[in-house]
Structure 1
Amino acid sequence: MDVEEFFNRLNAGEIDFVGINLKGACLIRSDLRDINLSQSDLRNADLTDVDLARVNLMGANLSGAILLNANLEYAILKGADLSGADLECANFEGADLTNANLRNAINQSVRDAILCNTILSNGRICNDGCGRE
């Protein structure tokens, strides 16, 4: 599925995009709230100013992605790979980053998120928020 087909299906009301390949896609300023992108390939995608509130990104590959000013409030990022991603000014309030990999993430600014067994940009494992519901 290419980006055009993805947006056509999204605009038609589809919300389940498990395992979709959007590697390198330009999704700047898109509204992707409340959809399922679990297990998807978003490597090197440009997600600048994208609204990803409450999106399921469990197990997604976001390595090298640009998430500048992205809204990830209450997103599910369990087991997601954000290694080398640009997270400058991204909003992770309430997001679940359990078992996520943020190694070498740029401008890591993850606050008010669940960080349980989460690998931070410096390689340190963080367990802030474990057991929080």
Structure 2
Amino acid sequence: MKKAVACLGLALLTLPILAGAAMADCTDPPRPGADWRRCVMDGRVFDGADLTGANLRDVRLNQASLREATLAGIDGRRARALGSDFTGADLSGANMTGADLSRAVFAGATLVETDLRRTKLFRANLRDADLTGARLDGADFLGADLSGATWTDGTTVCSEGSVGICE
């Protein structure tokens, strides 16, 4: 009986350590595969960072700077990045379903095969962005600047002055 109680006690002591390993660590530096799920990173600067395959689900990145960052294959579902700067960033294959990217800047960004279903891109700057193969069902482009953007078919380039719709 004592041996069983001792084993149970040891298991209970190690449980928080094991659980902590599975939880997001908001203090982790930017790196491929980082787990920033539900972290608040408002106003932070991650220019040029490599966050390939990172878990950014439900993250808050309002007014953050991710210029030239690599965000390929990230899980950014329901992320909030209001007014953030993704100029020249690579979000190829990212899952941004249900994210709020209102007023964000994606000028020259690569959004190839990015899942933007039900994403808010209200007044976003997508000038010269590449949206080849992006999934846009239910995306809100109200007031978004699409001038020079390559549309989902990979051949159509939106004309200068395209706002809210690729013309």
TM-score by length of 2: 0.69
Does the alignment pair 1:97 with 2:97?
A: no
Corresponding residue for residue 111 of structure 2: 82
Corresponding residue for residue 5 of structure 1: 29
Structure 2: which 5+ runs fail to align?
Answer: 1-24, 31-35
* Identity across the alignment (%): 27
Structure 1: which 5+ runs fail to align?
Answer: none
| Residue 62 of structure 1: how far off its partner (Å) | 0.2
The residue identity in structure 1 corresponding to 2:75 is: D
Corresponding residue for residue 63 of structure 2: 34
User: CA separation of 1:99/1:12 partners in 2, compared to 1, >3 Å: closer, same or farther?
Assistant: closer
Superposed, 1:3-82 pairs within 5 Å as 4-6=28-30, 15-82=44-111
More helix by share: 2
How many positions carry a matched residue from both structures?
126
TM-score by length of 1: 0.86
Secondary structure at the residue paired with 2:149?
A: strand
The residue identity in structure 2 corresponding to 1:90 is: T
Higher RCO by CA contacts (8 Å cutoff, separation 6 or greater): 1
Once the two structures are superposed, what CA deviation does each residue of 1:38-83 show, in whole Å capped at 9, x if it has no partner? 1000000000000011010000000000010011100000000000
| Residue 24 of structure 1: how far off its partner (Å) | 0.3
Corresponding residue for residue 122 of structure 1: 153
The residue identity in structure 2 corresponding to 1:74 is: R
